[in-house]
Structure 1
């Protein structure tokens, strides 16, 4: 029911985290197809996934752990060796609702806490799409990619700073590799004001990124993009929508204003060189 607060138990967290793992794996596969090589990899790990797309990619991570017991030591050692072989750290995104023994297991292996991110969600209800937001056409893809990457490169200053910093070329690659997403753009006074995307995975509308051009910030663009995706998610018969944000960010605030509840936090645990990898989510692009 629209307006009903969404409570997140372990079962719902498992569902969301496994959807995230599927998204990461699909994006890694898209990167491998784009690059035409076998440098990338995806490997299963304790009902989650370990993914390496390309050097510096936001999809270099381990996702979905914590809901099927401890990772196998030998399998994890092999994954750590695979990341080391390509000169990348291992970044694990671990849900607050995962088995606590997994966090203890990882820190004992030398993983350190680097950051947090918030996962918010809401039930899907009826809603209208704003008139100034529309679906991105196929012939507009390159323009959309360039504009969203440009907007994402200018971070919003509200909230905790992100530990991630991606060069523009990598942002464009990551946005292109987001498999199965639906892209939207917002216009103001005839100009591109912002872009956003979402993906449907098992009835979950995953809001996979949003960015507003600096000149159009604080004008309701991100709110309009949220509303448009909620309306599209209802048409796609999703039952919930989820979005990932930096704690205390403008994206976090805007999502709560649109009825999203804070479901849980993810701890970012890293082993190896300091990382810049994570998924393309709303907060990690500019508000």
Structure 2
């Protein structure tokens, strides 16, 4: 499976698919407490959250040359909600017309983020003393705790993480896994499957269990799950040249592209 524009489009679409489903699930919580809104503009999807102002929840994915003409509409979508957004631009959709339009609106590129891909296969899923298994519904509080501690979020916000993920648990395509080291919870990994695409959507390991192969085991478990589900591609994202990036390459994934992140000055 060699890189091409068609494959790059498939990788980007896998990320858009899981983000739409994730945000819709949170939006459908009674009263929409996170203030979620989603709107499409051609091939671009704009995501907004009033209660979660962080860039990953207020971002535009899938934008290209055609959507450059609708940039004013996209920005108005956020202005009406008194929000700000970032734009994620993949290399296959980079075009001078789009770059100039973003620049004219006061946007500039602040960095890159890596997207990796591979063909699903059966892997060895766990090596002593590490075991991997799918979480049960009554363990989502444990998931939220590891999510917070592993990413440096305050544990006081654990219930928000739990509430925003329990709505995904019984939703088609979502799977939550935990890694255990000597019988103690050490890390978590999440994936989403739609059609024949598998997305590695989130993973973290508790600090005291890092550099022990936990993330490698979680990756191999999810890649195997994608294989068993009949997927033809598995896609993940990571900060470029980060530990997560290296772990994905060790698991057999390879770099598809680095997408640019554009923010307003």
TM-score band, normalised by shorter chain: 0.7 to 0.9
CA, structure 1 residues 134+37, in 2 after alignment: closer, same or farther (shift >3 Å)? Answer: closer
CA, structure 1 residues 119+174, in 2 after alignment: closer, same or farther (shift >3 Å)? Answer: farther
> Cα distance, 1:228 vs. partner?
0.5
Cα RMSD (Å) = 2.3
Which of 213, 231, 235 is the aligned partner of 2:228?
235
> Cα distance, 1:35 vs. partner?
5.3
Taking the aligned partners of 2:118 and 2:68, their CA distance within structure 1 comes to 34
> Corresponding residue for 1:143?
142
Taking the aligned partners of 2:141 and 2:161, their CA distance within structure 1 comes to 13
**Are 1:51 and 2:44 counterparts?**
no
Taking the aligned partners of 1:190 and 1:184, their CA distance within structure 2 comes to 14
**Are 1:81 and 2:71 counterparts?**
no
CA, structure 1 residues 263+174, in 2 after alignment: closer, same or farther (shift >3 Å)? Answer: farther
Structure 1 runs not aligned, ≥5 long: 1-5, 155-166, 273-287
Q: What is the number of equivalent residue pairs in this alignment?
A: 252
> Cα distance, 1:128 vs. partner?
3.4
Which of 58, 71, 93 is the aligned partner of 1:98?
93
Alignment of 1:52-201 (within 5 A): 52-55=48-51, 56-57=53-54, 58-66=56-64, 69-71=65-67, 73=69, 75-101=70-96, 102-130=98-126, 132-153=131-152, 172=162, 175-176=165-166, 180-201=173-194
Query: Contact conserved, 1:194 with 1:211, CA < 8 A, in 2?
Result: yes
SS at match of 2:16: helix
> Corresponding residue for 1:247?
240
Structure 2 runs not aligned, ≥5 long: none
> Corresponding residue for 1:281?
none
> Cα distance, 1:33 vs. partner?
1.5
Larger helix proportion of the pair: 2
> Cα distance, 1:127 vs. partner?
2.2
How far does the alpha carbon of each residue in 1:203-247 deviate from its partner, in whole angstroms, 9 at most, with x for none?
Answer: 111000100000100000000000100111111111111110001
Moved more, 138-147 or 257-266: 138-147
Taking the aligned partners of 1:265 and 1:87, their CA distance within structure 2 comes to 30
> Cα distance, 1:48 vs. partner?
1.9
Which of 31, 36, 42 is the aligned partner of 1:36?
31
> Cα distance, 1:250 vs. partner?
0.5
Higher normalized contact order (CA 8 Å, seq sep 6+, divided by chain length)? 1
CA, structure 1 residues 169+90, in 2 after alignment: closer, same or farther (shift >3 Å)? Answer: farther
